[in-house]
């Protein structure tokens, strides 16, 4: 009796193991997926990832776990994923400046062009050029003219070299041939504080974080990134003659190169479904973020364009 | 405004608010007590949960996690000399000595009381003076930050240990260690010898655990050949008389901590060290500091918690988060439809005051929760050395690893552990090194910013726009000299 049931149990266990073995090829994912963020806790990537990972398990039938791995300007976490097995269980949640720009300013321990494939561009944040409410600059032209008349006299506060505020500033400098004095701050918050206290003349900010300061008249927005206007009475970069993929921070999920196509398809499916999810849209809306999704294939083309544009940009700025 | 305040205060007294504060405090305390897990991580993970809660439940919950977490960090600092953050370093100086003397319960009690008092009074002060503080915050830019950081380093050296020269050597060493890695402004690699792992610099946590906890464990093992327990007793609770003796210290540290909180970028580490230095310097018996003085624990804990109130000011009045904790709170506010910024008090005054009142209530409830749980924590040290030491070693290694999930950090931990042992044998205090390391980065950054701001006319920039910085720079050597002389005559 006992022996019989033991035999049966062992037999069942064997079948189960073999079954699982074959299922591994058929059914990704069969264990939790790790989403590595090459940035610190509490930043916008962290907050966005918390929303994504709390909803996406519904569409993957597996948990997605955030792992923060900040350091070396994002290179530490990026390298971890570049070296990870391309099985879809380790993904990177990064942005275009770490992804495509850094290769032109530093020697990287990985090659972003050949070591990664994009899974999805989750959303993007357009930048706005901001001055103090009582500033003498009332238009983007005023600002550029002042920076041209006395090169280096206009202090531009940014959040660190080749970061999300620095790159748009450099792109503006390249497009308009103006020269700002670029002053670094440890994050967008301290940069904005420097603007308000008078330590800087101009800075950049994301509209999602600006509304209260704009409404109260503490700051004026002079221009916003993209073709379309974001504020009714503020010109867009395109109107000011600064065209192309300028001033956008793309939040993007990347997988190590060599990840099987069916795994990528499954992930792509989940991220597409996520965009339709009501709770996801509501939570992103509450953070002030959009849910403007681009699939991995299309974003790969944008990456290639970014690569060329950033190469030119770095060459112009550091010459 | 007074009416809004009264309405807000009434709104905060809700059962579900109180319950969630208690849950937040308790979970924060547990997370904070585990080395390697930071309060910040706990808050980031719990943030989406707050989206689905009422604003008066979700935000007080996060505040509870934050406050519980800060105190939680002082538990391992006191019991096993394992500070998990820079802010707990000053606490461990006298806190761990008290544990060794069999007075761990007393040390935890005074840490709890002084941190709650420091926090509460700085919160109240902030609520009352939020607009003047907001104006004051604007007076401090990178040049002033540089000058104040430099002065802090001088004060730490002048009041550290018995030999300021040894202190200076260690601090310079710490400043050098802070240079390793990628230069935060120019992006140039320094002292990395081409090793990729060093590119992001030396991580703080393995250093803290390495130089403070590992040597103590080695000594505990050596001692235990005579005594069976790590520390024999948990001792008595804090007596009324002892608490009264600490009141002037707590008062001084609270004022100091609040003032330091107003300067953006200084934070808890500086506050704790300045509170400690000031208490030692003002004491009629400075020689007892570092030997298990409850006033030392009180000074550090009251000061680092008093920073919390003013750091909320830029968030509430301008919508600008000054650090990552306030960035998460900003996320929580925005998700609830509250827009921190200039109109917050006009648009949503009642609810903001309700949140501020809930914050003060969180402090008061923490006294009860903390007081009831301290006996359990304190008993940890009565576990037999043969069991406790392996457990603590496991937590030390796990903590060093889990923070960045990087195996290099384990090597760093061992390296700093050996360094800590050597330094102890040679009678060099590691404290100035750790402080030099922690403050070296911000100091250099502020200097780089000042240079960038000054442009091509540095003298004009300094003497017309930045007289405050110049004044602090001139005062620094004088303050340092006076403190050093006083300490010398007091300990001689």
Measured at the alpha carbon of residue B105, what is the angle toward residues B104 and B108, in degrees to the nearest 5? 85
As given in the structure block, the two tokens for residue A294 are 């681009």
3-state class (DSSP) for residue B228 = coil
CA within 13 Å, CB half, B266: 34
Separation of alpha carbons A181 and A222, rounded Å: 18
Residue A151 lies in a domain: yes
Mean pLDDT, rounded, for B271-290:
92
- Which 3-state string (H, E, C) describes A258-301? CCCHHHHHHHHHHHHHHHHCHHHHHHHHHCCCCCCCEEHHHHHH
Residue B216: closest CA among B391, B417, B394 = B417
Burial status of residue B467 (CB atoms within 10 A of its CB: 0-12, 13-18, 19 or more): exposed
- Is A190's CB within 8 Å of B201's CB? no
> A80 and A162: one domain?
no
Residue B153: closest CA among B439, B434, B428 = B439
Residue A291 lies in a domain: yes
> ipTM of this model?
0.84
CB nearest to B187's CB, from A161, A199, A215: A161
Q: What is the DSSP string of B82-111?
A: --SSGGGHHHHHHHHHHHHTT-HHHHHHHH
Separation of alpha carbons A86 and A63, rounded Å: 18
Q: What is the DSSP string of B344-383?
A: HHHHHHHHHHHHHHHHHHHHHHHHHHHHHHHHHHHHGGGS
As given in the structure block, the two tokens for residue B439 are 């403050």
State which of A209, A224, A239 marks the end of a domain. Answer: A224
Residue B105: closest CA among B229, B234, B233, B232 = B234
> A264 and A120: one domain?
yes
Chain B residues inside the 8 Å CB shell of A102: none
B31 in contact with chain A, both atoms CB, cutoff 8 A: no
Chain A residues inside the 8 Å CB shell of B312: none
Predicted local confidence at residue B37, as pLDDT: 81
Predicted local confidence at residue A24, as pLDDT: 45
Is residue B370 a contact partner of residue B301, using CB atoms and an 8 Å limit?
Answer: no
Q: What is the dihedral of CA B184, B185, B186, B187, to 10 degrees?
A: 30
Estimate to the nearest angstrom the gap between the alpha carbon of A300 and the chain centroid: 14
The domain ranges of chain B are 2-491
Chain A residues inside the 8 Å CB shell of B341: 211-213, 215-216
Is residue A97 a contact partner of residue A307, using CB atoms and an 8 Å limit?
Answer: no
As given in the structure block, the two tokens for residue B57 are 């439940």
Separation of alpha carbons B440 and B178, rounded Å: 6
Separation in Å, CA of B131 to nearest CA in chain A:
15
Residue B394: closest CA among B208, B211, B217 = B217
- Tell me the percentage of chain B whose pLDDT exceeds 90: 48
**Mean pLDDT, all residues of chain B:** 88
Chain A residues inside the 8 Å CB shell of B187: 73, 105-106, 161-162
- Tell me the percentage of chain B whose pLDDT exceeds 70: 97
A244 in contact with chain B, both atoms CB, cutoff 8 A: no
Q: How many residues does chain A have?
A: 319
Q: Give the total number of structural domains in chain A.
A: 2
Q: How many CB atoms lie within 10 A of CB A13?
A: 10
Tell me the β-bridge partners of B229.
Answer: B384
* Residue of chain B whose Cα is closest to the Cα of A279: B52
* B193 to A211, B197, B441, B444: CA distances (angstroms): 46, 10, 20, 21
Predicted local confidence at residue A19, as pLDDT: 43
> A120 and A255: one domain?
yes
Rg for chain B (alpha carbons), in Å?
22
Q: What is the largest CA-CA distance in chain A?
A: 96
Range of the domain at A273: 31-124+251-317
Residue A54 lies in a domain: yes
Per-residue pLDDT tens digits for B413-431: 999 999 999 999 999 999 9
B386 in contact with chain A, both atoms CB, cutoff 8 A: no
For A38, phi and psi rounded to 5 degrees? -80, 20
Q: What is the DSSP string of B323-336?
A: SHHHHHHHHHHHHT
Chain B residues inside the 8 Å CB shell of A73: 182, 187
> Which one of B135, B139, B265, B319 makes the best mutation probe of the A interface by having the most chain A beta carbons within 10 Å?
B319
> Which one of B46, B341, B345 makes the best mutation probe of the A interface by having the most chain A beta carbons within 10 Å?
B341
Per-residue pLDDT tens digits for B53-98: 888 899 999 999 999 988 999 999 999 999 988 889 999 999 999 9
CA within 13 Å, CB half, B367: 12
Mean pLDDT, rounded, for B150-154:
94
* Residue of chain A whose Cα is closest to the Cα of B182: A72
The gap between the terminal CA atoms of chain A, to the nearest Å, is 84
pLDDT digit string (tens) for chain A, length 319 residues: 444 555 554 544 444 444 444 444 558 998 999 999 998 777 788 889 988 998 999 999 999 988 888 877 888 899 999 999 999 999 999 999 999 999 999 889 999 999 999 999 999 999 999 999 999 999 999 999 999 999 989 999 998 888 889 999 999 999 999 999 999 988 888 899 899 999 999 999 988 788 888 989 999 999 999 999 999 999 999 999 998 899 999 999 999 999 999 999 999 999 999 999 999 998 888 888 899 999 999 999 999 999 999 999 999 988 7
Tell me the β-bridge partners of A256.
Answer: A116
**If you ran DSSP here, which 8-state letter would residue B198 be given?**
G
- Is A192's CB within 8 Å of B318's CB? yes
- Which 3-state string (H, E, C) describes A224-242? ECCCCCCCCCCCECCCCCC
CATH number, domain with residue A272: 3.40.190.150
3-state class (DSSP) for residue B223 = helix
Separation in Å, CA of A201 to nearest CA in chain B:
11
Chain A residues inside the 8 Å CB shell of B266: none
Predicted local confidence at residue B492, as pLDDT: 55
CB nearest to A193's CB, from B264, B334, B341: B264
Tell me the β-bridge partners of A33.
Answer: A64
Separation of alpha carbons A3 and A307, rounded Å: 67
Residue A92: closest CA among A106, A26, A110 = A110
> A168 and A256: one domain?
no
> A89 and A149: one domain?
no
Separation of alpha carbons A311 and B155, rounded Å: 47
Residue B150: closest CA among B481, B439, B452, B449 = B439
Residues 297-326 of B with CB under 8 A from A: 314, 318-326
Residue A3 lies in a domain: no
Q: Which region, left, alpha or beta, applies to residue A43 given φ > 0 means left and ψ of -120 to 50 means alpha?
A: beta
- Is A199's CB within 8 Å of B141's CB? yes
> A117 and A134: one domain?
no
Chain B residues inside the 8 Å CB shell of A153: 455
pLDDT class for B226, splitting at 50, 70, 90?
A: low
CB nearest to A212's CB, from B331, B337, B343: B343
Predicted local confidence at residue A20, as pLDDT: 45
Q: What is the dihedral of CA B16, B18, B21, B27, to 10 degrees?
A: -80
Is residue B316 a contact partner of residue B344, using CB atoms and an 8 Å limit?
Answer: yes
- Is A184's CB within 8 Å of B452's CB? yes
Residue A9 lies in a domain: no
As given in the structure block, the two tokens for residue B485 are 């002389």
Per-residue pLDDT tens digits for B447-492: 999 999 988 788 888 888 888 888 889 988 888 888 888 777 766 5
Chain A residues inside the 8 Å CB shell of B404: 69-71, 76
> A52 and A104: one domain?
yes
Chain B residues inside the 8 Å CB shell of A108: none
Separation of alpha carbons A217 and B341, rounded Å: 11
Per-residue pLDDT tens digits for B335-383: 787 878 888 888 888 888 898 889 889 999 999 999 999 998 888 888 8
Burial status of residue B436 (CB atoms within 10 A of its CB: 0-12, 13-18, 19 or more): buried
State which of A205, A224, A243 marks the end of a domain. Answer: A224
Separation of alpha carbons A37 and A283, rounded Å: 20
Residue A1 lies in a domain: no
Residue A171: closest CA among A8, A314, A25 = A314
> A117 and A133: one domain?
no
For B85, phi and psi rounded to 5 degrees? -135, 165
Residue A236 contacts by C-beta under 8 Å, 6 or more apart in sequence? A223, A224, A225, A226, A227, A228, A229, A230
CATH number, domain with residue A132: 3.40.190.10
A138 in contact with chain B, both atoms CB, cutoff 8 A: no
Separation of alpha carbons B328 and B276, rounded Å: 30
* Residue of chain B whose Cα is closest to the Cα of A73: B200
More confident call, B146 vs B194: B146
Q: How many CB atoms lie within 10 A of CB B339?
A: 21
- Is A162's CB within 8 Å of B187's CB? yes
């Amino acid at each position: 009796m006992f022996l019989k049931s033991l035999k049966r149990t062992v037999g069942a266990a064997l079948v189960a193991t073999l079954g699982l073995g074959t299922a591994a090829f058929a059914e990704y994912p069969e264990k939790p997926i790790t989403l590595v963020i090459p940035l610190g806790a509490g930043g916008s990537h962290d907050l966005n990832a918390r929303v994504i990972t709390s909803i996406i398990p519904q569409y993957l039938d597996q948990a997605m776990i955030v792992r923060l791995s900040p350091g070396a300007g994002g290179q530490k976490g990026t390298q971890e994923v570049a070296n990870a097995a391309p099985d879809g269980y380790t993904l990177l949640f990064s942005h275009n400046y770490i992804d495509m720009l850094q290769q032109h300013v530093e020697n990287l321990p990985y090659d972003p062009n050949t070591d990664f494939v994009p899974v999805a561009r989750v959303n993007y944040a357009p930048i706005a050029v901001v001055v103090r409410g009582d500033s003498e600059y009332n238009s983007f032209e005023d600002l550029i003219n002042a920076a041209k008349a006395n090169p280096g006299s206009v202090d531009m506060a940014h959040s660190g070299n080749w970061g999300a505020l620095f790159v748009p500033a450099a792109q503006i400098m390249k497009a308009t041939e103006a020269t700002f004095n670029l002053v670094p701050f440890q994050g967008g918050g301290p940069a904005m504080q420097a603007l308000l206290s008078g330590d800087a003349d101009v800075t950049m900010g994301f509209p999602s974080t600006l509304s209260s300061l704009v409404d109260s008249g503490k700051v004026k927005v002079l221009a916003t990134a993209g073709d379309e206007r974001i504020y009714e009475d503020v010109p867009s970069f395109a109107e000011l003659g600064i065209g192309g993929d300028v001033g956008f921070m793309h939040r993007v999920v990347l997988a190590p190169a060599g990840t099987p196509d069916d795994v990528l398809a499954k992930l792509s499916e989940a991220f597409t479904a996520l965009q339709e999810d009501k709770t996801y849209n509501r939570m992103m809306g509450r953070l002030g973020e959009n849910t403007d999704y681009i699939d991995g294939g299309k974003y790969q083309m944008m990456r290639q364009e970014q690569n060329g544009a950033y190469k030119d940009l770095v060459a112009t700025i550091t010459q | 405004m007074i009416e809004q305040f009264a309405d807000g205060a009434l709104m905060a007294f809700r059962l579900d608010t109180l319950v969630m504060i208690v849950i937040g405090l308790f979970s924060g305390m547990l997370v904070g007590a585990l080395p390697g897990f930071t309060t910040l991580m706990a808050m980031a993970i719990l943030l989406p949960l707050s989206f689905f809660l009422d604003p008066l439940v979700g935000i007080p919950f996060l505040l509870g996690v934050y406050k519980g977490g800060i105190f939680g960090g002082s538990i391992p600092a006191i019991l096993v000399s394992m500070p998990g953050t820079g802010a707990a370093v000053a606490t461990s100086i006298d806190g761990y000595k008290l544990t060794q003397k069999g007075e761990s319960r007393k040390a935890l009690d005074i840490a709890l009381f002084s941190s709650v008092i420091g926090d509460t009074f700085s919160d109240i002060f902030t609520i009352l003076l939020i607009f003047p503080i907001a104006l004051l915050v604007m007076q401090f830019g990178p040049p002033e930050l540089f000058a104040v950081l430099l002065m802090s380093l001088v004060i730490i050296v002048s009041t550290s240990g018995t030999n300021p020269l040894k202190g200076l050597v260690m601090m310079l060493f710490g400043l050098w260690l802070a240079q390793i890695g990628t230069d935060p402004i120019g992006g140039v690699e320094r002292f990395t010898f081409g090793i990729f792992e060093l590119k992001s610099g030396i991580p703080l946590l393995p250093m803290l655990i390495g130089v403070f906890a590992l040597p103590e464990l080695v000594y505990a093992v050596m001692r235990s050949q005579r005594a069976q327990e790590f520390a024999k007793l948990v001792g008595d609770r804090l007596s009324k008389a002892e608490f009264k003796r600490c009141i002037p210290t707590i008062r001084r540290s609270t004022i100091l901590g609040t003032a330091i909180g107003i300067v953006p970028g200084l934070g808890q580490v500086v506050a704790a060290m300045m509170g400690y230095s000031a208490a030692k310097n003002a004491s009629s018996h400075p020689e007892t500091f570092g030997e298990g003085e409850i006033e030392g624990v009180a000074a550090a804990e009251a000061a680092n918690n008093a920073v919390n109130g003013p750091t909320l000011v830029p968030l509430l009045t301008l919508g600008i988060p000054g650090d990552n904790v306030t960035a998460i709170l900003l996320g929580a506010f925005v998700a609830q439809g509250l827009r921190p910024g200039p109109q917050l008090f006009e648009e949503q005054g009642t609810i903001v005051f309700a949140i501020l009142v809930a914050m003060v209530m969180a402090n008061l409830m923490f006294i009860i929760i903390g007081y009831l749980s301290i006996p359990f924590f304190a008993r940890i040290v009565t576990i037999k050395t043969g069991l406790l030491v392996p457990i603590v070693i496991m937590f030390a290694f796990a903590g060093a690893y889990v923070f960045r999930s990087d195996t290099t950090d384990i090597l760093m931990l061992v390296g700093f552990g050996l360094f800590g042992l050597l330094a102890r044998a040679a009678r060099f205090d590691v404290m100035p090194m750790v402080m030099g390391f922690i403050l070296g980065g911000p100091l250099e950054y502020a200097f780089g910013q000042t240079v960038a701001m000054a442009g091509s006319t540095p003298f004009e920039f300094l003497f017309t726009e930045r007289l405050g910085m110049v004044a602090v720079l001139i005062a620094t050597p004088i303050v340092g000299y006076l403190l050093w002389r006083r300490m010398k005559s007091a300990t001689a």
